[in-house]
Structure 1
Amino acid sequence: MSKLSYMFQRRKNKKSGETTEKEIFDKEGIPKDYDHKLEINLKSLHELFYQTSDYQNIDIKIGSRNGCVCYLGTTLNKNELNSQVLEPLRDAFKEAKEDDKDIDKIREAYFPAVAYEYAETLHQIVWQILNGFAVILVDEQIKALGLNIGGMEKRSIDEPSTQTIIRGPKDGFVEDIDTNIGLVRRRIKNPRLVFENFHVGSDSHTKLVIGYMKGIVNEDILDEVKQRVKKIKTSGVLDTGNIEEFIADDNFTFFPLIFNTERPDSISGNLLEGKIAIFLDGTPFVLIVPSVFTDFFQSAEDYYQPFFMTSFIRIIRYIAFMIALTFPSLYVAITTYHHELLPTPLLISVQGQREGVPFPAVIEILIMELTFEVLREAGVRMPRAVGQTLSIVGALVIGQAAVEAGLVSNVLVIVVSFSAIASFVSPIYNFSIAARLIRFILIFMAASLGLYGILISLIIMVIHLVSLRTFGVPYLTPVAPFKLKDQKDVFIRFPIWSDRNRPSYLVTDAPVKEEGASPPSPPDSSSRGENTK
């Protein structure tokens, strides 16, 4: 029994996660049986798709037998349909022999190089049509032939827009799930890399894929992920953010419990560590589970730059998080209750700037914080060319005007601006949201109880973080509980050759990455002498 068994009850169902067409379409009331009579099958399809404008069927003949090609025009490439399907079928009308009654022979003769799937039930035919196949039905045949000729146009692979780096790969995920899986396959050429299919959403039937490294991943955690995905009950999902709310251990927290990224290299690195990736068709963001608190301070570029520089930048991220969290509330507490903490010259300067300001410090800072939040949101929602200008010019103009009007002090503008900039240091956007929200709580506590209120709030926050779990793993691990062997990639990064083990909190089946990893070193003097001789 795994060491994680005390955290959650292990599921005994080891059944594959593949979702069948029967499970999906039984709920829709779609007939299952496939009839050998072509007209009966076409009638069933027409009753199902009769109001669908993009459903099309083209009558064909193979020898003397009638047939039909059924497809949705909006889900496949029509040029490929003509060249790969319709033109060979014209030859089939002329060349087919009367004794070629097996659809297998038709496929071998006219579609030898086209990806295909057979459909032996009406459920499978409908599923293939919805997934962009051109389905060939032939009279007196016991099965249909679905040809995968390529889908509609999709966005090309481009640099990620939310997690940019200076050094490292520049490709990012797109909205097509097969392309995304291919980007990971390009990096991990290993047959143990497994992808299992699911479908979520009773109406949308959206494809979801769970990826993991077999022989490395913890089977208990993998079973837990599969069970949570199977329990998702909703009409439709449009992004992995919807999935995140269904499978997270606790939704009543400001902190994200599941890591998301649109970087294939980040997903590949986490898979090799023994974590699990969740892909969803239609979105470029992929989830990684389980994710702990320290994961949100790490960037893919940390492993492409020298480890001294990476360690320095990572410490800066932790400091920036604390500044974004506490700086405004410290200003309120000190200027309201604890003047003695400031040196006398600085105190005189701060109070002199606040001379004439009509509001107390808490109202003053709330005005500026809300103003910055409005500007930030407006900059995100506006067109890109206008949004950046609005954020910069709006902040400068409003900040300067507020100071000149005597509504706020110069020091306050510096405090709010610096804490806003510090919140952008986080590599993961939704983690910076937690600091922005908790900042307002700390401001109110500082206005009520001063530094004691801030300290009480931080203690409660730490207690809350310690209580969180992510798929049975403590959220603050490897800090609490403290694991010495995992400290090589937390606050600072050791050289890659020295980090030989996978995170111990994952309890992977292969805890050691590489035996005998060692740093490069020049040859000793004796070997150099031998070479010169």
Structure 2
Amino acid sequence: MKRKSSRNSDGIGNSHSIHQNWVETFSDSNDFVHYHTSSIDNHPFWVSYFRTLISSDILHKDVLPYIQGRLSLIELKDIIPIQEMIITSDSDEIIQSIMNGYMAIQLHPHDEDCLLVNIANSKFRDVGIPTLEASAIGPQIGFIEELDTNINLIRKRLPIPDLIVKEMTAGNLSKTKVAVLYVKGIADPENINTVIQRITDIQYEHIQDSSYISAMIEDNSNSLFPQSISTERSDRVAAGLTEGKVIIAVDGSPNLIILPVTFMESFIAMEDYNYSWIISNFFRILRFASLFISAFVTPMYVAIMTYHYELIPARLLEPLVGSRATVPFPPFLEALFLELMIEMVKEAGIRLPLKIGQSLGVVGGIVIGQAVVEAGLTSNVLLIIVGLGTLASYTSPVYKFSNTIRFIKFPIIFLAAWLGLFGVYLSLIYTLIHILRLTSLGRPYLSNYPMRRTAFQDLWIRLPFSMQKDNPQNLRPQKKKKVSGNQKNPEPLNDFYE
């Protein structure tokens, strides 16, 4: 029998309509559970939850044994040994909480107030090594798909009260939890407010991954160059926070977003800091040179072989002409065919099961490449050039930037086939102008413009730690110095010391 809204002696409201509102919302789902815990009709309690979202172990060990007798919701809240509990009559909050793995406890089936208890099933994969940013030495801890675990990994590296976490939701349907992290007193408040405002303005209904957020808040979403760094390494995130960067963590994604960033940061690997600064600079310069090799080596081949034979040295001209003697296609189609074939092999290797993908990537690439050369469809010189460019495209520690380099070579090949070396030159100038115009959170994306002194400490090159005394000026950090006091290098001892 339906009852009208009233108040009982415990101060607990009754509202049949409000109760029916959220109960009927879930009643069509077979995994929704709503039952009476007592065999006597007028005895408490009534519980509601989604059995697919809750932990049955917690339910039977830490909740159900305490739901007995004639206790009020406040008394019940005091004895249940679970931290996250709240008493509310807001139907919207009840619906959202139940959808997040809470169970609702009512004294009577039509009560307005509910005790919400967090018994969500939080089983995720264990913390493992980063898969896209592997390193030979250094920390081997990567983020996972659980937001609280990721924040825990960051707080273990930065156990300071100034590490602030701002939580919000994004996605009208997915209600995805998003956390913005920064270090108070170092990060620029303008950067923090810009990130929070842009996330708040997102009106997309479903946020599946952090890449959705990064694409929606970037300054230029039509650019091929990523204006944020997506990382699964906790040490890279901790280093960014101490310099004044803002971090975005998304529930369900193992990749965290670092903002703002510069172009040169795409060539910085965290492994660099585990080597001598001289060796680190060698690898950093090698990665930067690999960018030009990957993007321009094949277009240069097409341009020279099509229009500029006179640039080829005499000793190299004969083997080049000999390798192309049986090829029936012009250099443009030859290069385009081989580049597309390499890309298809890489894509197939990613999509296939792990062991099959590894076999296809190694054996398939060699066998197909050799078969194409023997069939006379391409020259062996171009096969070497394309292989070199493919290897160079994967030297960047940032995977999204590697994908940019993989794609950008194709429009350059078209320009090289159309205009020769002049087309290659035009593509280089256009790319430089585009990067000059890019910004990340309103900060210049190209790190060498405007010229800043801190860029020579740990951006273009890496100096010894004793000379890295300033935080990057392009971030406009509130704290300018990395060191406290005057750091002195220890004087080396020798055999003359007694």
Scaled to the shorter chain, the TM-score interval is over 0.9
| Corresponding residue of 2:265 | 295
Map 1:15-30 to 2 at 5 A.
none
The within-5 A match list for 1:32-51 is 36-37=13-14, 42-51=19-28
Of 251, 273, 289, 1:281 maps to: 251
State the Cα distance separating 1:43 from its structure 2 match: 2.4
Match of 1:148 in 2: 118
Gaps of 5+ in 2: 1-10
Q: In the TM superposition, what whole-angstrom CA distance separates every residue of 1:445-478 from its partner, at most 9, and x where no partner exists?
A: 111222111111101110010011111101102x
Q: How many pairs are equivalent? A: 485
Shift, 1:523, TM fit: 7.3
Shift in Å at residue 268 of structure 1? 1.2
**In structure 2, the residue corresponding to 1:394 is in which secondary structure?**
helix
CA contact (8 A) 2:334 2:377 kept: yes
CA distance in 2, matches of 1:226, 1:363: 48
Question: Who is 2:435 aligned against?
Answer: 465
Q: What is residue 275 of structure 2 aligned with on the other side?
A: 305
Q: 2:367 aligns with which of 397, 412, 435?
A: 397
Q: Conserved in 2, the CA contact under 8 Å of 1:74 and 1:152?
A: no
Which whole-Å CA distance do the structure 1 matches of 2:226 and 2:308 have between them? 34
C-alpha distance 517-448 of structure 1, shift in aligned 2 (>3 A): farther
Q: How does 1:312-391 map to 2 (within 5 A)?
A: 312-391=282-361
State whether residues 335 and 361 of structure 1, in contact with CA within 8 Å, keep that contact through their aligned partners in structure 2.
Answer: yes
Cα displacement (A) at 1:208:
1.0
RMSD: 2.2
Pairwise CA distance, 1:67: 2.2
Separation in 1, partners of 2:273, 2:258? 18
- Helix, strand or coil at the partner of 2:44: strand
Cα distance in structure 1, aligned partners of 2:470 and 2:122? 44
For residue 45 of structure 1, report the CA deviation from its aligned partner: 2.5
1:129 maps to 98
Aligned-pair CA distance for 1:188: 0.8
Offset from partner CA, 1:49-74 (integer Å, 9 cap, x none):
01122211232359975222221111
Aligned partners of 2:275, 2:87: CA distance in 1, in Å?
50
* Percent identity of paired positions between Structure 1 and Structure 2: 34
- Offset at 1:226? 1.2
Greater shift in the superposed pair: 222-231 or 494-503: 494-503
* 1:389 alignment partner AA: S
Q: Which amino acid aligns with 2:52?
A: T
Q: Kindly indicate whether residue 53 of structure 2 is the aligned counterpart of residue 75 of structure 1.
A: yes
C-alpha distance in structure 2 between counterparts of 1:492 and 1:233, whole Å: 41
Quote the residue 2:475 is aligned against: 506
Deviates more, 1:75-84 or 1:390-399: 390-399
In the TM superposition, residue 341 of structure 1 has moved relative to its aligned partner by 2.2
Range with bigger deviation, 123-132 or 370-379: 123-132
**1:284 to partner: Cα distance:** 0.7
Q: Provide the TM-score with structure 2 as the length reference.
A: 0.92
Measured after TM superposition, the shift of residue 236 of structure 1 is: 0.7
Contact 1:84 1:114 in 2 (8 A): no
TM-aligned CA distance change 1:362 to 1:441, over 3 Å: same
Show the counterpart of 2:152. Answer: 182
CA shift, 1:243, in A, is 1.2
1:436 aligns with 2:406: yes
* Alignment check: 8 A CA contact 1:498 1:517 kept: no
State yes or no: 1:490 paired with 2:468: no
For 1:516, give the aligned amino acid.
G
Q: Which amino acid aligns with 2:468?
A: D
With the length of structure 1 as denominator, give the TM-score of the two structures: 0.86
Query: Residue 37 of structure 2: SS of its match in structure 1?
Result: strand
> Residues 62 and 167 from structure 1, CA distance in 2 versus in 1: closer, same or farther, beyond 3 angstroms?
farther
Alignment-derived partner of residue 197 in structure 2:
227
Q: Which region of structure 1 is more displaced relative to structure 2, 463-472 or 512-521?
A: 512-521
| Other-structure match for 1:3 | none
Alpha-carbon deviation of 1:87? 1.2
Cα separation, 2, equivalents of 1:113 and 1:51 = 29
- The separation in 1 between residues aligned to 2:92 and 2:39, in whole angstroms, is 25
In the other structure, the counterpart of 1:518 is 487
Structure 2 CA distance for aligned equivalents of residues 315 and 408 of structure 1: 32
For 2:132 and 2:293, locate their aligned partners in 1 and report how far apart those are by CA, in whole Å: 22
C-alpha distance 435-135 of structure 1, shift in aligned 2 (>3 A): same
Q: Which residue of 2 aligns with 1:171?
A: 141
| Mapped partners of 1:519, 1:351: distance in 2 | 61
Question: 1:163, 1:428 within 8 Å by CA — same for their partners in 2?
Answer: yes
C-alpha spacing 1:327/1:37, structure 2 compared with 1 (3 Å): same
Q: Distance in 2 between matches of 1:124 and 1:61?
A: 26
Partner of residue 414, structure 1: 384
Between 1:168-177 and 1:322-331, the stretch displaced more is 168-177
Q: Is contact 2:454–2:471 with CA below 8 Å preserved after alignment? A: no
In the TM superposition, what is the alpha-carbon distance from 1:112 to its structure 2 partner?
A: 4.3
Deviation at 1:150, TM superposition (A): 4.5
In structure 1, what residue type is equivalent to 2:53?
A: T
Q: CA deviation at 1:40?
A: 5.2
Equivalence for 1:55: 32
Which whole-Å CA distance do the structure 2 matches of 1:146 and 1:44 have between them?
Answer: 17
- The 1-side partners of 2:323 and 2:492 are apart by 66
Q: Is the 8 A contact 1:260 1:288 kept in 2?
A: yes
Counterpart residue type for residue 472 of structure 2: P
Q: 1:500 to 1:141 in 2, by over 3 A?
A: farther
Is contact 1:500-1:517 (8 Å) kept? no
Aligned partner (choices 86, 109, 117) of residue 64 of structure 2:
86
Give, in whole Å, the separation in 2 of the partners of 1:378 and 1:230: 38
